[in-house]
Amino acid sequence: MKQEQSVTKSRRDIAIRPGSGIQKNNLAYAKLPQPLRTDEKKHIDLMLLKLIAKTYQPFSIVEETDFVEFVEALNPNYVLPERKVISEKLIPFLYNRCLEDLKTTLYQEASTVCLTIDCWTSIKIDSFISITAHFINNDFEFKSFVLKCTQINGAHTSQNLASILREACVEWGITEKINFCVTDNASNIVGAINILGWNHYGCMAHKLNQILHHSLKEFDVTLKKVKEIVTYFSSSCKAKEKLLEYQAKVQGSSQPLVLINSVPTRWNSIYFMIERFVNLQDSIRATTPNVDVDLPILLIEEWTALRQLCKVLKPFEEATKELSVEKYVSASKAIAVINGLKDVLLEVKQKPAYYDSIKSFIECIEEQLEMKFKGIELNESLALCTILDPRYKMSMFLDEAATERAKSSLVNKVQDLLTDEIGSPSELPVKPVLEASISRADDENISLWRKRNLIIKKRRINPTRNLLQLAQQEVDTYLQDEFAQNNCDPCVWWRSGQYKYPHLAKLFKKNSNIVASSVPSERLFSKAGYTLSERRTRLSARKTEQLVFLNTNLKSCDYKNLMP
């Protein structure tokens, strides 16, 4: 044994002896590229697909010399898949696996589904319709999935759009789960929703945009002057330099500002234009006489009116920003935001310092708000979302009758849940009846257990009242509880609140999946349409659908375990 160990040690010494041929061979072998393990190759392939889908990179990126060299520098052992393999095999495979994964999630975790629907057109003039589902899962997490992004073939009639929507809902198995639908106010899509018989409400951000564009016509003359001045300073390098120079040298500004121009489609761009314009009033008035063209001159009264207009518009800009954030906004904000705006307008109208033109503008907005959001508090779905939001409860309602109606509806729904749980109302225990409620004894049944028997008899006479009392107790306790902070996430609040208010928590999960605006999906798909058209002029509609689906849904599915 000792002899064998000695021989082994001797061979090892030879292998590592400096200058030996064996050592050189071993070092050369160590430098040879080692083939990747299957799991390593799969992981890198997946990261490549994620890069392509999330940033809308063309499939041809794997053929671009710089990218190939970059990948080789990172890992010389990794061989990029061919463009055709990515397009015809890997992307479709990942799409199908992700699709099935999300279908399972939606089936298992969504009790109700709210849909946002957006129609958009690419630069290639291809029309698409996108359908996004929103629900609250069993862990009180708000989830959004893109169900479908498909090209619209044929006329964009309500009937054709309804067929596409119906087909998508059947494919995903959610036909019976849809509780609400939010879209823009295009007549064909609204008609499609009516054909399908879904509860519908127009996107709040769109409505506010229409209201402000309409009302701002009151200031067309002044705004036309502002627009002309801003456009000139934005297009003339010389004028822009003078504006910046005045701010820096005369006003001592370390960060001089340029003017902001408005765009036709977004009312708040007009607000930003006015806000920057009045903030740079001194610079503009000092610089305008020194430019090479005759620009409009604003009167002092017009400058004052613009400043007052800015103050009136600021809450509307806040509301628009609130409804147009990257994440979807709960419909509980619908009543809160609209009634909050009404309250602001009422307060401003009472201020004597404001010009009559501003007060006329306010009256125009009030009329538009009443027309666009008529009966918003009477919409049962929106009212239920609001009262179940621990930040608002009943505080944002203006109509007392609507408030009581919302509360009564909530109590009835809790009572229905109690009935479903027990099966028979009489089986449910209730609070003991107070002794004072027993008016008189039954002389024929005087016994030791008289009081007990009377209480049981009273319960059996009106078992429904017992359920109603329990429902009212849970609702009243919730409404009397402290309000949540304004920055609180209602889903997080109810995740812990479910133990104190179990039936209300069930109603929240079922009814508060409704969103107030479809803007996030429109922004997402507009970006997709532009990017895909710019980078992929020959991309098929089917590949577009797959990439948009993966772009928005990869974060929601277990994609790391989906690859073959």
Task: Read off the pLDDT of residues 43-98 as tens digits, 9 standing for 90 and up.
Answer: 999 999 999 998 889 999 999 999 999 999 999 999 999 999 999 999 999 999 99
**What is the per-residue pLDDT for 422?**
81
Question: How buried is residue 166: exposed, middle or buried, by Cβ count under 10 Å (0-12/13-18/19+)?
Answer: middle
More reliable by pLDDT, 446 or 351: 351
Residue 509: pLDDT band with limits 50, 70, 90 = very high
Extract the runs of DSSP E, i.e. beta strands, from 184-283: 200-202
CB contact at 8 A, 545 and 529 = no
Distance CA 374, CA 391 (A): 23
- Of the listed ranges 53-57, 140-144, 391-395, 475-479, the least confidently predicted one is 53-57
**What is the per-residue pLDDT for 542?**
85
Extract the runs of DSSP E, i.e. beta strands, from 69-209: 113-121, 127-136, 142-151, 178-183, 200-202
The HSE-up count of residue 141 (CA atoms within 13 Å, CB side) is 9
Residue 462: pLDDT band with limits 50, 70, 90 = low
Residue 28: pLDDT band with limits 50, 70, 90 = very low
Beta bridge pairs of residue 133: 115, 145
Q: How would DSSP label each residue in 279-314?
A: HTHHHHHHHGGGSSS------HHHHHHHHHHHHHHH
**What is the per-residue pLDDT for 151?**
87
* Percent of the chain that is helix, strand, coil (3-state, to 5): 65, 5, 30
For the chain, state the CA radius of gyration: 33
Task: Read off the pLDDT of residues 406-451 as tens digits, 9 standing for 90 and up.
Answer: 999 999 999 999 999 886 544 444 444 444 444 444 555 566 676 6
More reliable by pLDDT, 560 or 132: 132
**Mean of pLDDT values over 188-212:** 95
